[in-house]
Structure 1
């Protein structure tokens, strides 16, 4: 059965970061323990109610994609049993499906985003300027239309409660150097193209997705954090896709739609979410996990 964890508590381990969803602990100078909780964020605000089992689903789908794309780029996962690193007395069953031991890398300070379809902030940019994150696009495209080819549209990495901002590729070059910027761009697009083709065979369109990357002491590039999850991607059921609308998606859209009906300024603290909305959201995450990875969490 899926477990529920709003916030991890691992006495004796050094908590170095508590993000919107993940809690990160230092195990040593070169290893981390990353715990995916069931916290839910919307509009960059962490909401007070968890989605039961969400962290387990995010971890399992990330691990699936990390394995499938290892031929494209190495990832941060290490094959270390959790029982060797969790504090004595910890309920292993609570963490087994949601925690991983990883390399401790130097993060590349960029959200690496691949877009294959014109939606979200990209659609808004295009309506206003005819461009997507500064990249000129053909005139007359419709909402949710597939782009002529996938494009790399990086953004800044915002702190909890702040919003990411789209930046140009030149800004990434200025921040990290041309060689690393090109490696991140090329890896982002290569992973997206491979995963989009894989998902399409299973009736799912990956409209866009974001990755995070890090380097080790030698400068070698790895993909890290999460990968191609409903939190970091737009997954659309292919049989319900059409242009001119924002297609239904396998993510927290139920929550976003509910929050849009409230008199809420989209700042912390976030409002409580009804049980029905939580359950419908959980079911969407579970469906994506099963359709893409063939994994069921009963």
Structure 2
């Protein structure tokens, strides 16, 4: 049986999260320190540890079948590569930034200016769409220093927290692209590997849904049960079980973690007591 070949970042911000999501999917990888290729012991998969910027070409060439990679890299280098799943981690944005001392009103202010970037293709497409012509200086790494040394009037780079921009007296003025880690698929993936990929996607979806959810249990007086159930945004309907104490029931359901505190406050006001919150490891829909 052929194995599904997956590329992940050799080191950096995507590496740990990529390994974690595979582990959460129940996939154990036998790899030692500094290995560039490893096998999973309980799933038909080979893992390739590659430089982030090289991964799109490996996908195009069919050296690997799938990869965990940032959308920003795919947009820059990944023509004709499809995205199977958005993974929800390593979120960032590709933005334009200018020195804080500059007066900036809109994108037209960059007409004829010098922009330093590691994302020339993304930047060219954005400027073309806005009808702006600028001079691009392509830099690999430390883009944010360019305005301070007189090399550029602005920069285009990835931004996560914005602290690097702040340290270099730059301010973000245009968000060109919002990015997160995705599961990308080679255009030349074969049928046998596609079947394995579908199994992997099933596992990943179960993990991602669980990460966004919380399982809650609470005690509810029966005379307030109807009002409490109306508050719950459960998957279908909550589970309601009678308690040993007459007039009370136990209510079980799943809620979205983003609405957690809002829902909990409403439940308390409606009369729910003894609310217990549990993490969910997997959720199969």
Give the structure-2-normalised TM-score. Answer: 0.22
- Which is richer in strand? 2
Give the structure-1-normalised TM-score. Answer: 0.22
- Which is richer in helix? 2
